[in-house]
Amino acid sequence: MDFILQPWPWFISGPLIAFVLFLFFYFGKNFGVSTNLETMCTIAGAGKVSDYFKKDWKERDWALVFLIGLVIGGFITANYLSNSVTIDLNPKTVQELADLGFTNAGDTFVPNEIFRIENMLTLKGFAVLLIAGILIGFGTRYAGGCTSGHAITGLSSLQLPSLIAVIGFFIGGLLMTWFLFPLIFG
């Protein structure tokens, strides 16, 4: 039981993610999460504005059920399967984040500096969250997939578009982390 309560090492986690991929295909579906953002837009009524969203979302009801499962899985782990959150970060990372104004890096899953409730009430705090979301939504749909669809499913099935997409993920991620963070938070 103690092992379950501790954070899991990468060589356990990675193969377990592959096991999730296996079950998706075994149940006759493809592994990918970001298509659900389109389904959610369809449910919210986006089909009235654009034909792109005129789809029968009921064909993807199983995927929405999966999303509900993700929320429940997060809840169960947070409340019953963890003894502490502390993330074993590289001390250099902790120091660099402190220099950027992010204190106590690794004591929680996400930094208070971005995910504090009060941030939703400030223009900058709200804008950071909303813009990050817009970039995620627009980017995954334009690229045709996210980490699960491109980086894991696409790369492992040796698809060239996924390799290009993953290179893009890194160009964007490096730009944000190395150049834009100091401008946004510095």
Partner 1 sequence: MKNLKFLLLGVFFGIVLTKSEAISWYRIYEMFKFQSFHMYGIIGSAVAVSMVLMYFFKNGTIKDYLGNQITIKEKKKGFIKTLVGGTIFGLGWALAGACPAPIFVLIGHGIFPIMIVLIGAMLGTFIYGLLSNKLPN
Residues 118-177 that bind partner 1 (CB under 8 A): 119-120, 125-126, 128-162, 164-177
Identify which of residues 57 and 125 has a Cβ nearer to partner 1 in the complex: 125
DSSP letter string over 104-161?
STTSSSS-HHHH-GGGGGSHHHHHHHHHHHHHHHHHHHHHT--IIIIIIIIHHTT-HH
Q: Which residues, numbered 64-93, are part of the site for partner 1 (CB under 8 A)? A: 65-78, 81-82, 87, 89-90, 92-93
Q: Which of 1, 2, 26, 183 is the binder for partner 1 (CB under 8 A)?
A: 26
The nearest distance, CB 122 to partner 1, in angstroms, is: 11
Find, among 105, 103, 109, 115, the residue nearest to 85 by Cα: 109
The nearest distance, CB 124 to partner 1, in angstroms, is: 13
Q: Which residues, numbered 29-68, are part of the site for partner 1 (CB under 8 A)? A: 30, 33-34, 36-38, 40-41, 44, 46, 49-50, 52-53, 61-63, 65-68
The Cα–Cα gap between 172 and 39 comes to 25
Identify which of residues 57 and 184 has a Cβ nearer to partner 1 in the complex: 184
The nearest distance, CB 57 to partner 1, in angstroms, is: 13
The nearest distance, CB 48 to partner 1, in angstroms, is: 12
Q: Which of 16, 83, 99, 124 is the binder for partner 1 (CB under 8 A)?
A: 16
Question: Within 10 A of 163 (CB to CB), how many other CB atoms are there?
Answer: 14
- Total residues in contact with partner 1, by rule CB under 8 A: 128
Q: Which of 10, 59, 183, 186 is the binder for partner 1 (CB under 8 A)?
A: 10
Q: What's the CA dihedral at 5, 7, 10, 13 to 10 degrees?
A: 40
Are 39 and 63 within 8 A, CB to CB?
yes
18 alpha-carbon distance from chain centroid: 17
130 alpha-carbon distance from chain centroid: 14
